[in-house]
Structure 1
Amino acid sequence: MPDPARDLAGYGPTPPDPQWPGGARLALSIVVNVEEGAELSVASGDERNEAIPESGQLIQGAPDPCMESHFAYGARVGLWRVLGVLDAYGAKATFSSCGRAVAHTPALAAAPAARGHEVSAHGWRWEMHAGMEEATERAVIAKTVATLAEHAGARPVGWHTKSASSVNTRRLLIEEGGFLYDSDCYDDDLPRLVPGAGRPHVVLPYAFDTNDMRFRPGAGFNHAEDFSRYCIAAFDRLMQEGGRMMSVGLHLRTIGRPGRIAGLEQFLDHVARAGEAVWVARRMDIARHWLARSG
């Protein structure tokens, strides 16, 4: 049987009224994942290369400059293209950033922060934490916080682990003392508080379907319109229901490509037509709102 502590019931048929600011029917969170330079790479001194490189070829036991070049596109070009589109629509996003990426290329955090975007934490390396020793994970969290604070001008208050977190991750974030939220769940359309945490901590669900990661070969998206059509369909449904939160995941090296960026523009065009019925917000603002409404 599943662990009794695992909540499969959730809010059920009567979810709480989120009371979004201005009476908005939907809170929209745009998350830009910043991973360029944090991907596993033998050339960076890591134990192996990324298992799913952008090139479709798997190289292990030797440096893989092809894989590194695919990631580099996000830092060299994608960052500026994505920032330009967000600026054009006045949309504030959360840049979920790996510490090592920012340590190597500070503009990855400094430029979004200067434009009013949130810089949150996405681990040190771009790696899952499942099975990580507690002392190691605690040190990884501390190193990531310090690096992002240095280059973004403010410490991160949000965290998202690549893939699987460890059994200790959420507790360690709460114990660290400066985090408002984590996004290590995919099971709801509304935030929630962690019960019995000792201090307020919000879980903000994330999503892998409304996400440009589906441009990977065989994952479902081929054209820019595939991304925008799917995200618009999800947006319209949640707007119809009302009282929901929606996450859209982006990656600099993915949506930042010239043949894909129109998908983000098409989606933001659609969002703009909803006017004040949608609250486009950074994740830290959603977390703070949830804490305030929860008393």
Structure 2
Amino acid sequence: MSTPYDLPTDTSKIKEFEWDDHYDFPRDLVGYGENSFDPKWPGGAKIAVSFVINYEEGAEHTVLNGDMHSETHLWEAPGGAPKIQERAVNIESEYDYGSRSGVWRLFRLFNKFNYKYTLYAVGKAIEDNPAVGISSVKNGHDVASHAYRWIDYANMPPEQEKAYIKKEIETIAKICGEPPKGWYYGRLSSRSQALVWEVYKEMGVPLLWDSDSYADDLPYWVDVPAEKNEKDPKGMLMIPYSYDCNDYKFNVPTGFGSPTHFYDHVKNAFDTLYEEGCEGSPKMMTIALHCRCIGKPGRFMALKRIVEYIASKENVWVATRTQIAEHFREKFPYEKGYLAPGVKRAEASNTINAWPAHKAAPV
């Protein structure tokens, strides 16, 4: 990948990266390795399928939420520059379609097939439309956190981010009856995962899983840096997410050109993972959805065909992310330094001191 075009010409003025023992999680470039890992899905299932509905409408960048600029991400006419201190009414109404129409089209489909989804709920979004969270709970679905605002957190001060995390937990608990058991940011900072763990611990709320990872087709444990010196560390269970089978790709130049492309891509991914499961290496698959994307009538039928196709297969476990986490935690409890019992983590500690390409190597 090329160097971002907006870096300063004189890179010597850029502050060198410093590893933070409290926030930074080591990389693992090995994972489960060639022989994979058998998650022993319930009933001998060959694959676990997780449908995720991202509910962000009303929590995006907009001056109505006190932001400096309007949102340009994930709508039907991408590419425009943010409007500073001005409403982007056309973009707002595109998001409004998701909350007014798209979300209910998706809910009806999954309720019809009795397939449980995980709702990635942005707190501000369900504050504006509580019926979305209430309906999900009423019908037995999983409501997880997608942060309080659907904005970039990269440059937010840690204390402000912690306040947002706490407000999100409280908001979902108030509307849905209990705090979220899982968390997914998507637009996180390098500190976010550690801060989420920290706030949950301070509030005495159980955090069963985190999904800010795209690293695998299976759940896995990580050690939490802040628990380094604790006698009884709990670790953090990662339930990997996916940008691959994700309807956001309708809105990017390299993404899906039509509903048929979406159907073919998701079906191929399912078939590959299902085949691996039949060969003795069961996997997990995430199908990520957005109300304003796949909720459009012309695209929706592709999702309906996917659901019908999956329903026609045997030995498939369609589960929420919390159900997957609960299964994994019961069967494969956390052990410090291990992805799962018997599979030691291979932390790439040498990457911390790897020599940067833009500097001369030491003699």
TM-score bracket for the superposition, by shorter chain length: over 0.9
What is the aligned partner in structure 1 of residue 70 from structure 2?
Answer: 49
The letter of the residue matching 1:253 is: R
Please give the alpha-carbon distance, in whole angstroms, between the structure 2 residues aligned to 1:205 and 1:53: 21
What are the superposed Cα offsets for residues 166-212 of structure 1, whole Å, 9 maximum, x if unpaired? 23222222221321111001010001112255224210111111010
User: How many angstroms does 1:218 deviate by?
Assistant: 1.8
Please give the alpha-carbon distance, in whole angstroms, between the structure 2 residues aligned to 1:173 and 1:220: 31
What is the aligned partner in structure 1 of residue 331 from structure 2?
Answer: 293
Identity among equivalent positions (%) equals 36
What is the aligned partner in structure 2 of residue 199 from structure 1?
Answer: 234
Name the SS for the 2:298 alignment partner: coil
Q: Does residue 185 of the first structure (1) align with residue 209 of the second (2)?
A: no
Q: Is contact 1:73–1:253 with CA below 8 Å preserved after alignment?
A: yes
**Number of residues of Structure 1 aligned to a counterpart in Structure 2:** 292
What is the aligned partner in structure 2 of residue 174 from structure 1?
Answer: 197
> More displaced, 14-23 or 167-176?
167-176
The letter of the residue matching 1:116 is: G
Q: Is contact 1:101–1:108 with CA below 8 Å preserved after alignment?
A: no
Q: Does residue 228 of the first structure (1) align with residue 263 of the second (2)?
A: yes
Please give the alpha-carbon distance, in whole angstroms, between the structure 2 residues aligned to 1:219 and 1:141: 33
What is the aligned partner in structure 2 of residue 148 from structure 1?
Answer: 172
Please give the alpha-carbon distance, in whole angstroms, between the structure 2 residues aligned to 1:78 and 1:172: 32
What are the superposed Cα offsets for residues 17-54 of structure 1, whole Å, 9 maximum, x if unpaired? 10000000111110000000001001332121113362
User: Are the structure 2 counterparts of residues 141 and 247 from structure 1 closer, same or farther at C-alpha, using a change threshold of 3 Å?
Assistant: same
What is the aligned partner in structure 2 of residue 253 from structure 1?
Answer: 292
Please give the alpha-carbon distance, in whole angstroms, between the structure 1 residues aligned to 2:194 and 2:38: 27
Aligned with 2:154 (options 109, 130, 134): 130
Name the SS for the 1:33 alignment partner: strand
Give me the CA root mean square deviation. 1.7
Aligned with 2:57 (options 3, 21, 36): 36
Gaps in structure 2 of 5+ consecutive residues: 1-18, 20-24, 228-232, 334-363
Name the SS for the 1:138 alignment partner: helix
User: How many angstroms does 1:217 deviate by?
Assistant: 4.5
Name the SS for the 2:50 alignment partner: strand
The letter of the residue matching 1:222 is: G
Please give the alpha-carbon distance, in whole angstroms, between the structure 2 residues aligned to 1:90 and 1:53: 29
Name the SS for the 1:259 alignment partner: helix
The letter of the residue matching 1:160 is: Y
The letter of the residue matching 1:35 is: E
Based on CA coordinates, which of the two structures has the bigger radius of gyration?
2
User: How many angstroms does 1:254 deviate by?
Assistant: 0.7
Aligned with 1:237 (options 253, 272, 282): 272
Please give the alpha-carbon distance, in whole angstroms, between the structure 1 residues aligned to 2:330 and 2:321: 14
What is the aligned partner in structure 1 of residue 243 from structure 2?
Answer: 208
Gaps in structure 1 of 5+ consecutive residues: none
Q: Is contact 1:215–1:254 with CA below 8 Å preserved after alignment?
A: yes
Q: Does residue 9 of the first structure (1) align with residue 58 of the second (2)?
A: no
User: How many angstroms does 1:219 deviate by?
Assistant: 3.4
Aligned with 1:272 (options 302, 311, 319): 311
Name the SS for the 1:96 alignment partner: strand
Q: Is contact 2:98–2:292 with CA below 8 Å preserved after alignment?
A: yes
The letter of the residue matching 2:159 is: A
Please give the alpha-carbon distance, in whole angstroms, between the structure 2 residues aligned to 1:129 and 1:12: 33
Q: Does residue 69 of the first structure (1) align with residue 108 of the second (2)?
A: no
Please give the alpha-carbon distance, in whole angstroms, between the structure 2 residues aligned to 1:217 and 1:64: 20
Please give the alpha-carbon distance, in whole angstroms, between the structure 1 residues aligned to 2:240 and 2:293: 22
> More displaced, 16-25 or 196-205?
196-205
Please give the alpha-carbon distance, in whole angstroms, between the structure 2 residues aligned to 1:213 and 1:223: 12
